[in-house]
Amino acid sequence: MGETQVASAQPFVLAFDSTHAAMAAQAAFKAAGAAIALIPTPREISAGCGMSLKFKAEGAAEAQAFVADTITGDAAKCATLYEATGYTKLS
């Protein structure tokens, strides 16, 4: 999952409990070459931080694996993954 995205990719939102965790995850995603966007946390999501990351993956399993493989430490502990349509909580 890098810069190249295919048409069937689905959007996901990664919300955080802290700004520090959001910034650490953003740096990790960029270092991994992921195409991400820093967005305001949607109102439908309850999170301690007003910033979230939006990215695309081929499905929930790929999104969860990418997050698990990319972010570590406190950022990983503070992150919650959602589908971007309907904001269904995945982790």
pLDDT tens digits along 42-88: 989 987 888 999 999 999 999 999 999 999 888 889 899 999 989 99
pLDDT tens digits along 36-55: 999 999 989 987 888 999 99
CA distances 22 to 7, 9, 11, 46, 49, Å, are: 27, 22, 17, 15, 8
